[in-house]
Structure 1
Amino acid sequence: MTQKAAIIGGGVIGGGWAARFLLNGWDVAVFDTDPEAQRKIGEVIANARRSLPALYDKALPGEGTLSFHDDLTSAVANADWVQESIPERLGLKHKVLGGLSELAPGKAIIGSSTSGFKPSELNEKGARAIVAHPFNPVYLLPLVELVGDPVATQPAADILRDIGMFPLVLRKEIDAHIADRLLEAVWRESLWLVKDGVATTEEIDEAIRMAFGIRWAQMGLFETYRIAGGEAGMKHFMAQFGPALKWPWTKLMDVPEFTDELVDLIAGQSDAQSGHLSIRELERLRDDNLVGMIRALKKTGSGAGDVIATHEAALEHPSAPDLPVTAKRQIPQSWTDYNGHMNEAHYLEAAAAATDRFMEMIGADADYIASGKSYFTTENHIRYLDEMLAGEQLTITTQVLKGEGKKLHLFHMLHGDKGTITATAETFLLHVDLNTRSSCMPTDEVLEKLTAFAEKHAGLPMPEGAGRYVGQRS
């Protein structure tokens, strides 16, 4: 049964929430009084469609239904999750959250995107909200800080994991939660550096992204400093750098006055730094960079990459008809080349993933490989028949040409958005004992499943292009 999320407030954060739920199969109802809300949210969702599926090597669930409402009652009707993302004014939040608490179903979780207020403050007029504070872009960054009654935060955490996010439940409420308190410290120091003429906005950003920003993406703060302590670890680091905490390196308790001159200085430097790009261009640049970094972290199971890998493992594989679907995914921007279409190397990568999936289907999965047996590829032949572009849906079907004894002969057909075959990949594998690194027979269980596929496919016509070699005439 499709679940429903109601998004109250469709700004940058509300739009990101809408995209995150929608692209994970939820129906989404949006309430926003801004006459431009549909356009703005539509642009955010377009960015999300371009980037979120690119993190995965499986297809996300089919999109839910998006609707826009001009009254709260219809927006929250039958909702399972209600997310408030209105401006940070406590009086306004009291009014809106109070109304939502009366109108929303009792089963619904009511979350506030507030970056600063505590649940006790949000609910002091009788509301029943929890803090569910995300980070921009909500459709890519997994962290959500949850604060409030465990009766609500625990089921909220389960839902967030199901849509590929990382819920961090705070042990106690505190102003600005955890992440924004850390960001505020860096922000205050940065304001002083600009005001005092030590650095420009661009130079400060370079200092972050060229060094510790990359480290933090995969290890955070304390693990990074543990390594800085060398073999002696964290105790050595603390002993060595602890005294520096008393040195006058920081102005954390002293905030520069927000004068017009300071605002103009920072705004002017920021315009010089990136004013040549529109906000949408900056968002797409940011999203492409995030996708690339998170996919790299996914490969090692680190940081946000581990969240994506865990979520991907829970996604269902497509059903298996006569020709099983062995891959279904969106083509990421990083797979395209200077010609603007999918680079030839990634056709092989996609076909290899299809081979891995077929191995899983016959029981030669990760546990099987861990037991000391696997299939090794000995030969590939790829035909490139048509272009494929970033954002297109790639579907691969696989036919077994031979499956007997040690031999596995597969023919992968790569389909694009139009359903036509855009490429084929023929691959031949031998079953191998990983201890001796020599060929051997598969287990009876694997052989039985392989034989069933081979017999089923034996009655199918030989696919066009099978058995070809480089340079063969048509």
Structure 2
Amino acid sequence: MTGKASIIGGGVIGGGWAARFLLNGWDVAVFDPDPEAERKIGEVIANARRSLPSLYDRHLPSEGSLTFHDTLEATVEGADWIQESVPERLDLKHKVYADLNRLAPEKAVIGSSTSGFKPSELNAQGGRAVVAHPFNPVYLLPLVELVGEASETARAAEVLRTIGMFPLTVRKEIDAHIADRFLEAVWREALWLVKDGVATTEEIDEAIRMGFGLRWAQMGLFETYRIAGGEAGMKHFMAQFGPCLTWPWTKLMDVPEFTDELVDLIAGQSDDQSGHRSIRELERLRDDNLVGMMRALKKSGSGAGGVITAHEASLPMPEAVELPVTVDRQIPQTWTDYNGHMNETHYLEAASAATDRFMELIGADADYIASGKSYFTAETHIRNLDELKAGERLIVRTQLLSGAGKKMHLFHFIEDGDGKLAATMETLQIHVDLNSRSTCEPEPDVAAKLADFTKAHEALPMPEGAGRFVGQKRG
């Protein structure tokens, strides 16, 4: 599903929305009176192009068009989604919604990025906006809190899933929704710890990123505490730690006064902690780390990893003229090494993914493996012929050299987006019974599909380099 997304307000959040829609194939129109809006959004989109495709093992849709407009009317014309991300001033939002009531197409979902206002407040002077509260960076983090009328939030959720986001519908409207209420509590306590001289900004950040922050990313709060309760579970945890909630550990209900001294103290400590890096450098560091963590979560399907996997499954694999395309993705920053190009480890990773995809094509998929049969790698030979770099498109096409009996002999062509051959990998796979750990014939359905591929590929020439050994001269 693609369409037109209209972004009202092009700051960090609005720019993130623009990038999320744009990189998922939507046309994006932006309205922001800031004369620097185009530059600022361009920088956000550049970060998104560098990071979002790296989450996926398939290629994202071709980018839509990006346009900037001087009027709200031109921006929302023909829109399927309108996202308001203006500053958190209710009077300003009411002015925007008064105009949208006249100009917005009936088909359009109207979302607000507000982190605190309720739908009843947003629509107090008329309107049909729902809260669609994202988290920064919007182009990477999947969560969107939805609050509002049920039919509108349902429509919004359907769209958000198609662009790889996780819509969480809040059961009741409440100030600050769900997540920001937690963040507010942590923020208040952190301010007190700094004000009272207990910890610096860096020490507080270390306590989060070295400890519970890592746990929360994969399991959240309650599942983490369930494990802490041991075999007795959550009841035991609550019985053991519940009484401490009455102890005077925190100052969560009090807010320290924002004096000049406190602001200067926190700002100074923050400068000492991170002032040696620019904001863009910090953003890229954050994005690279998020990509690495979320790709790790993909392997178990936990947290955000499960959202990425589900979205990836909806992305089509391109049709091939002769050979099946078994990998089509962007090369992430994490695949490059100190030489500034894709490291040999990841050529093997890409080719291994291509083998897995070919196995799926012949029916040796996850269900087949769960039934007790699979293929083991017996031998592999990689040739590196040219460089590939971060951000480039990587495509693998696979030729079946032979597929009779227990053996499956594959040849992977690893190319860039323009078809330049960068590497090849030849691999011999042996069919195995996972229970006895011994070789065996594949099941009839798999053998039949292998025979079909054999017939389709037998007229193709033997690839240059097939059967080579290490050190053999070319030609």
| Shorter-chain TM-score range | over 0.9
Residue identity opposite 2:280 in structure 1: R
Q: Does 1:63 align with 2:87?
A: no
1:19 equivalent in structure 2: 19
Deviations 1:276-332 (A, max 9, x none): 111100000000000111111111111111111111122111213211111001111
Q: Secondary structure at the match of 1:132?
A: strand
Residue identity opposite 1:55 in structure 2: L
1:4 equivalent in structure 2: 4
- Answer with 96-105 or 196-205: which moved more: 96-105
Q: How does 1:327-338 map to 2 (within 5 A)?
A: 327-338=327-338
Q: Distance in 2 between matches of 1:317 and 1:435?
A: 33
Q: Secondary structure at the match of 1:33?
A: coil
Q: Distance in 1 between matches of 2:133 and 2:416?
A: 38
Checking the alignment, whether the CA contact within 8 Å between 1:22 and 1:63 is kept in structure 2 is: yes
2:264 equivalent in structure 1: 264
1:378 equivalent in structure 2: 378
TM-score of the superposition, structure 2-length normalised?
Answer: 0.98
1:424 equivalent in structure 2: 424
Deviations 1:38-86 (A, max 9, x none): 1111110110011011111111111111111111111111111100000
User: 1:448 Cα deviation (Å)?
Assistant: 2.1
Residue identity opposite 2:231 in structure 1: E
User: 1:446 Cα deviation (Å)?
Assistant: 1.9
1:312 equivalent in structure 2: 312
1:408 equivalent in structure 2: 408
User: 1:405 Cα deviation (Å)?
Assistant: 2.2
User: 1:422 Cα deviation (Å)?
Assistant: 0.5
Deviations 1:327-346 (A, max 9, x none): 00111111112222111111
Residue identity opposite 1:434 in structure 2: L
Q: Distance in 2 between matches of 1:138 and 1:385?
A: 38
Q: Distance in 1 between matches of 2:81 and 2:200?
A: 42
User: 1:228 Cα deviation (Å)?
Assistant: 1.4
1:28 equivalent in structure 2: 28
Q: How does 1:104-253 map to 2 (within 5 A)?
A: 104-253=104-253
2:50 equivalent in structure 1: 50
Residue identity opposite 1:398 in structure 2: T
Q: Secondary structure at the match of 2:403?
A: strand
Checking the alignment, whether the CA contact within 8 Å between 1:94 and 1:127 is kept in structure 2 is: no
Checking the alignment, whether the CA contact within 8 Å between 1:396 and 1:412 is kept in structure 2 is: yes
- Answer with 445-454 or 420-429: which moved more: 445-454
User: 1:425 Cα deviation (Å)?
Assistant: 0.2
Deviations 1:137-193 (A, max 9, x none): 001111100000001001111111111111110000000001000000000011111
Q: Distance in 2 between matches of 1:430 and 1:43?
A: 49
- Answer with 216-225 or 335-344: which moved more: 335-344
Q: Secondary structure at the match of 1:404?
A: coil
1:275 equivalent in structure 2: 275
- Answer with 101-110 or 179-188: which moved more: 101-110
Given the superposition, is the C-alpha separation of residues 2 and 177 from structure 1 closer, same or farther in structure 2, using an over 3 Å criterion? Answer: closer
Q: Distance in 2 between matches of 1:389 and 1:285?
A: 18
Q: Distance in 2 between matches of 1:230 and 1:338?
A: 44
Q: Secondary structure at the match of 2:386?
A: coil
Residue identity opposite 1:104 in structure 2: A
Checking the alignment, whether the CA contact within 8 Å between 1:101 and 1:110 is kept in structure 2 is: no
Residue identity opposite 2:237 in structure 1: F
User: 1:419 Cα deviation (Å)?
Assistant: 2.1
Percent identical across equivalent pairs? Answer: 77
1:398 equivalent in structure 2: 398
Residue identity opposite 1:404 in structure 2: A
Residue identity opposite 1:210 in structure 2: M
Q: Distance in 2 between matches of 1:370 and 1:116?
A: 47
User: 1:370 Cα deviation (Å)?
Assistant: 1.8
How many residues in Structure 1 have an aligned counterpart in Structure 2?
A: 474
Unaligned runs of 5+ in 2: none
Q: Distance in 2 between matches of 1:197 and 1:286?
A: 28
User: 1:115 Cα deviation (Å)?
Assistant: 0.2
Checking the alignment, whether the CA contact within 8 Å between 1:335 and 1:390 is kept in structure 2 is: yes
1:456 equivalent in structure 2: 456
1:86 equivalent in structure 2: 86
1:437 equivalent in structure 2: 437
1:100 equivalent in structure 2: 100
User: 1:411 Cα deviation (Å)?
Assistant: 0.6
Q: Secondary structure at the match of 2:102?
A: helix
Q: Distance in 1 between matches of 2:330 and 2:169?
A: 32
Checking the alignment, whether the CA contact within 8 Å between 1:412 and 1:424 is kept in structure 2 is: yes
Unaligned runs of 5+ in 1: none
User: 1:8 Cα deviation (Å)?
Assistant: 0.6
TM-score of the superposition, structure 1-length normalised?
Answer: 0.98
Residue identity opposite 1:262 in structure 2: L
Deviations 1:360-394 (A, max 9, x none): 11211112222222222111000011121111110
Q: Secondary structure at the match of 1:326?
A: strand
Deviations 1:379-436 (A, max 9, x none): 1000011121111110011111112222211110100244210000001112222222
Q: Distance in 2 between matches of 1:322 and 1:222?
A: 51
Q: Distance in 1 between matches of 2:217 and 2:302?
A: 9
